[in-house]
């Protein structure tokens, strides 16, 4: 019995454990099922839009005409005629006007998103001759900055002898200090190529790259000799009457062909023969019997001319003549900057990741006419904040009662800027092609709005070549990596923040209308006391920023004066030493009051201003009483009240802040509108 009881208990325990495990398994399955249901509900896939049936156009001539290569080429030429389209260049601005004008003329709903982009710009690029005047016909173009360092020559420029660098020059000349290197991209020194660092190590003050085919002159001379021989051959074998008759026949035939459409034919012997064959085979609309006679007579004279050439010119000579003609044609096209191999592997050596201010330029071929002469280079480039514009033009479909699924956008994009290692020469033909095609498509679609099943959104972004700034900002307001609604809320919050900041600025600007504010310490204290805590804190922060900025700016004259003093050996009896002491003293005056509270600072400036006025009055009285032959008093440091016009600095600062917040409010409102387009 006891053994049976033990067995029953063991079986019962096993059943109990199995039951518990079954319950757990069932619970796990149910939990998995519930999680799957929740997941499917939350992540329910959207219904895939049905494919829209393209609208049928009975007369598609306008669309075909608009997209013909000739029309696209016309738009392309219009864009290229604007000039360099590197961000900030004149051609870039002109293209913005072009896009806006085309969108508005097509009656699109135009939206403009303004975006800030930093780009290098050229404010001066001149090359002066020995007479200190610009050299006519000679242009120079600075390369991109070395990382964060744009090309900037000293105020007096860089003066040096233009030296044409060849392999022989590098092996025969020892010193190049004070010289400016000129490199021919057609025949560069093998061990130097376009590596500006190597030229700088040799002592060159600057490097200029251009292009000149050394063989072009010889080719032209040989070609002229052969052309003269050919002309003599023509005159020897054709009488004056025959030559006149040949030209007359060519004119008659061209005129006849022009009446039926074809262009004037090529008057080489094979072309004339082909034309006769076409007439005889009745493959041309020209039916006049005399036409065949004209062609036969023309063929006879052309054959005589051709045979005479073959008699006096061997096959090798004729081939050489044609080769010369082709070589000259190709070389003429490549003269100057167009002949340089701008491939990444070569040109990248003209730009360095090391921020060194070394003058690196390209020039047109006229630079070779001034080899051995002294010139002066004036180049000033800088980084500037440019306002690029993303253009969005909405062409609304005029089709009535469109189904909901058809209320979608067809988006056609392009970008209008271009890149170049020389920002002043960024023509960018390939970059312009997309915009040219977009404008052509816009022309073609205009007549079909009533049959369009979707709205069409034309987007042309700017500053693609500067960090893809335009596209990134546009995607940002459309949702980007988050979602469209979140992007809209962000713009709304930014709008509220800028509107609040504008209220603070306007309150301070209103106080600045009082001419004694920041001039008289008592009035200043009374007006500041009227500010609420937030406005008062903001005003004091801006005052501290103004003072810190002024002290920082005063540091540059001190550095310049110190360098000038070092160049003369730190001698105390020099004008450089006196100038250094003056600017250093002025900076210390500003530093001594830069941490003062605003009311105390205004009080000090008020007192200093009164003392300065009294001192000037006494000086004027002394000058009137003294002999005019007395030497003038030595120059001294400016008074604090002369250095620091605190009221004017605040007027300028808050005026800029007001414009800044108004611009940001405008941008936020536009961003919210664009967000709802898509």
**Per-domain residue ranges for the chain?**
61-119+383-478, 131-213+350-372, 217-333, 498-620+635-665
Write the DSSP string, 396-411.
----SS--GGG--EEE
Residue 460 burial (C-beta neighbours within 10 Å; 0-12, 13-18, 19+): buried
- Which pLDDT value is given to residue 284? 47
Q: Is residue 133 over pLDDT 50? A: yes
In angstroms, the CA 674 to CA 678 distance is: 7
pLDDT band at 264 (very low <50, low <70, confident <90, very high): very low
Q: Is residue 417 over pLDDT 80? A: yes
Task: Count the alpha carbons within 13 Å of 507 in the hemisphere toward its beta carbon.
Answer: 19
Q: Is residue 494 over pLDDT 70? A: yes
- Which pLDDT value is given to residue 568? 87
pLDDT band at 292 (very low <50, low <70, confident <90, very high): low
Give CA separation, 83 vs 306, 424, 429, in Å: 46, 9, 11
Average pLDDT, the chain: 80
pLDDT band at 306 (very low <50, low <70, confident <90, very high): low
Q: Is residue 569 over pLDDT 90? A: no
User: Where is mean pLDDT largest: 276-290, 302-316, 338-352, 512-526?
Assistant: 512-526
421 closest CA partner among 87, 144, 38: 144
Topology of domain 61-119+383-478 in CATH is Aminopeptidase (3.40.630)
Beta bridge partners of 118: 385
- Which pLDDT value is given to residue 261? 38
- Which pLDDT value is given to residue 610? 86
User: Where is mean pLDDT largest: 125-134, 243-252, 298-307?
Assistant: 125-134
Beta bridge partners of 110: 393
The residue ranking higher by pLDDT, 297 or 534, is 534
Contact 315, 282 (CB under 8 A): no
The predicted model gives 96-103 an average pLDDT of 96
User: What values do phi and psi take at 377, rounded to 5?
Assistant: -100, 130
The predicted model gives 506-514 an average pLDDT of 94
Q: Is residue 499 over pLDDT 90? A: yes
Least confident span in 239-243, 333-337, 369-373: 333-337
Contact 161, 180 (CB under 8 A): yes
Least confident span in 276-280, 344-348, 411-415: 276-280
The predicted model gives 577-582 an average pLDDT of 90
What's the pTM?
A: 0.72
What 8-state DSSP symbol labels residue 499?
Answer: H
- Which pLDDT value is given to residue 262? 39
3-state class of 62 per DSSP?
helix
- Which pLDDT value is given to residue 382? 94
In angstroms, the CA 363 to CA 563 distance is: 32
In angstroms, the CA 144 to CA 420 distance is: 8
- Orientation of helix 533-567 relative to helix 484-512, angle to 10°: 80
* 227-242 b/e (C-beta count within 10 Å ≥ 16 → b): eeebeebeeebbeeee
Q: Is residue 541 over pLDDT 60? A: yes
- Which pLDDT value is given to residue 161? 94
- Report, in this order, helix, strand and coil percent for the chain, each rounded to 5: 60, 15, 30
Write the DSSP string, 66-127.
HHSHHHHHHHHHHHHTT---STTSHHHHHHHHHHHHHHHHTT-EEEEEEEEEEEEEEEEEEE
Q: Is residue 492 over pLDDT 60? A: yes
- Which pLDDT value is given to residue 263? 42
Least confident span in 318-332, 374-388, 516-530, 631-645: 318-332
Least confident span in 13-27, 247-261, 634-648: 247-261
The predicted model gives 180-203 an average pLDDT of 87
The residue ranking higher by pLDDT, 231 or 392, is 392
User: Where is mean pLDDT largest: 43-52, 143-152, 227-236?
Assistant: 143-152
Q: Is residue 677 over pLDDT 90? A: no
The predicted model gives 169-185 an average pLDDT of 87
Whole-number percent of the chain with pLDDT over 70: 71
The predicted model gives 595-615 an average pLDDT of 87
Angle at 341 between CA 336 and CA 345, to 5 degrees: 150
The residue ranking higher by pLDDT, 168 or 240, is 168
The predicted model gives 562-588 an average pLDDT of 89
In angstroms, the CA 360 to CA 194 distance is: 10
**Residues shown for the chain:** 678
Q: Is residue 343 over pLDDT 60? A: no
The residue ranking higher by pLDDT, 597 or 350, is 597
Q: Which CATH architecture has domain 131-213+350-372?
A: 3-Layer(bba) Sandwich (3.50)
**Which residues are CB-contacts of 419 (< 8 A; sequence separation ≥ 6)?**
86, 426, 428, 431, 465
Tens digits of per-residue pLDDT, 41-92?
Answer: 766 666 666 665 655 556 677 888 888 888 999 999 999 999 999 999 999 9
């Amino acid at each position: 019995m006891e053994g049976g009881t033990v067995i029953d208990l063991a079986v019962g325990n096993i059943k109990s454990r199995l039951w518990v495990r079954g319950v757990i398994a069932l619970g796990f399955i149910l939990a998995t099922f519930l999680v799957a249901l929740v997941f499917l509900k939350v992540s329910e896939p959207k219904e895939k839009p049905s494919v829209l049936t393209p609208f049928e156009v009975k007369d598609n001539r306008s669309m075909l005409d608009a997209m013909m290569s000739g029309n696209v080429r016309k738009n392309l030429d219009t864009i290229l005629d604007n000039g360099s389209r590197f961000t900030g260049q004149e051609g870039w601005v002109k293209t913005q006007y072009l896009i806006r004008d085309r969108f508005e003329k097509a009656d699109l709903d135009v939206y403009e998103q303004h975006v800030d982009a930093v780009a290098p710009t050229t404010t001066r690029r001149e090359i002066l001759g020995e007479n200190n005047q610009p050299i006519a016909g000679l242009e120079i173009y600075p390369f991109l900055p070395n990382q964060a360092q744009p090309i900037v020559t000293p105020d007096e420029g860089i003066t040096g002898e233009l030296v044409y660098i060849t392999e022989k020059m590098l092996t025969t000349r020892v010193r190049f200090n004070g010289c400016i290197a000129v490199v021919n991209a057609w025949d560069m020194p093998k061990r130097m190529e376009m590596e500006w660092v190597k030229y700088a190590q040799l002592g060159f003050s600057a490097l200029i790259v251009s292009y000149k085919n050394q063989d072009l002159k010889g080719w032209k001379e040989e070609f002229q000799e052969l052309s003269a021989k050919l002309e003599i051959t023509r005159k020897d074998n054709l009488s004056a009457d025959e030559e006149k008759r040949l030209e007359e026949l060519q004119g008659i035939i061209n005129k006849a062909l022009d009446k039926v459409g074809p262009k004037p034919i090529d008057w080489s012997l094979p072309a004339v023969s082909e034309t006769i064959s076409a007439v005889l085979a009745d493959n041309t609309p020209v039916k006049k019997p005399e036409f065949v006679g004209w062609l036969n007579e023309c063929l006879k004279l052309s054959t005589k001319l051709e045979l005479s050439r073959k008699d006096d010119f061997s096959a090798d000579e004729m081939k050489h003549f044609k080769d010369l003609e082709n070589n000259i044609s190709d070389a003429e096209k490549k003269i100057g900057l167009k002949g340089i191999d701008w491939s990444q592997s070569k040109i990248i050596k003209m730009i360095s990741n090391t921020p060194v201010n070394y003058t690196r330029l390209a020039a047109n071929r006229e630079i070779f006419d001034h080899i051995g002469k002294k010139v002066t280079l004036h180049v000033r480039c800088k980084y500037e904040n440019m306002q690029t514009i993303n253009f969005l033009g909405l062409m609304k479909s005029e089709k009535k009662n469109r189904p909901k699924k058809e209320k979608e956008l067809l988006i056609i994009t392009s970008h209008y800027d271009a890149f170049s290692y020389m920002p002043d020469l960024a023509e960018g033909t390939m970059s312009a092609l997309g915009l040219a095609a977009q404008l052509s498509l816009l022309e073609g679609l205009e007549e079909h709005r009533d049959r369009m099943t979707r709205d069409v959104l034309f987007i042309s972004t700017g500053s693609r070549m500067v960090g893809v700034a335009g596209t990134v900002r546009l995607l940002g307001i459309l949702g980007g990596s988050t979602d469209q609604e979140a992007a809209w809320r962000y713009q709304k919050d930014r709008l509220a923040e800028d509107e609040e900041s504008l209220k603070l600025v306007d309150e301070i600007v209103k106080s600045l209308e009082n001419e004694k504010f920041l001039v008289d310490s008592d009035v200043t204290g009374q007006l500041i006391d009227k500010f609420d805590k937030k406005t008062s804190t903001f005003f004091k922060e801006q005052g501290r920023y103004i003072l810190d900025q002024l002290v920082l700016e005063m540091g540059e004259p001190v550095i310049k004066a110190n360098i000038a003093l070092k160049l003369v050996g730190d001698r105390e009896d020099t004008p450089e030493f006196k100038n250094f002491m003056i600017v250093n003293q002025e900076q210390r005056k500003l530093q001594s009051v830069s941490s003062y509270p605003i009311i105390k600072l205004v009080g000090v400036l008020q007192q200093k201003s009164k003392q300065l006025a009294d001192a000037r009055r006494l000086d004027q009285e002394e000058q009137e009483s003294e002999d005019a032959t007395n030497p003038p008093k030595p120059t001294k440091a400016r008074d604090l009240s002369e250095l620091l016009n605190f009221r004017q600095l605040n007027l300028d600062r808050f005026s800029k802040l007001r414009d800044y917040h108004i611009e940001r409010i405008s941008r936020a409102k536009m961003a919210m509108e664009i967000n709802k387009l898509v």
